[in-house]
Amino acid sequence: MSGVTNLSNSEKVELIEQVKQQIAVANAQELLTKMTEKCFKKCISKPGVTLDSSEQKCISMCMDRYMDSWNLVSRTYSNRLQREQSKM
């Protein structure tokens, strides 16, 4: 860990930004994986070569609801973190 302490401030900022980007990518991958898994289970009863119109509609609505829910939870969590940090 001594290598991190030898970094300049700009290098530390750059490293932090790289870590934030990697976390954002990991979170997006996790979101996509969970959304795909849950919507597939909910909407596709008999997997086949193509999706029929009702499956397409179900998938679309499921993904929209999942994204809306995820965004709401993310905003609420972020707001709570900000409130907690302002109390410190």
**What does the pLDDT read at residue 53?**
94
5-17 tens-digit pLDDT: 788 888 888 988 9
Backbone phi and psi for residue 6, each to the nearest 5 degrees, phi listed first? -85, 0
First-last CA distance in the chain: 28
Architecture of domain 2-44+51-87: Orthogonal Bundle (1.10)
What is the pLDDT, as a whole number, of residue 64?
95
Q: What is the pTM of this model?
A: 0.66
What is the structure's pLDDT at 6? 81
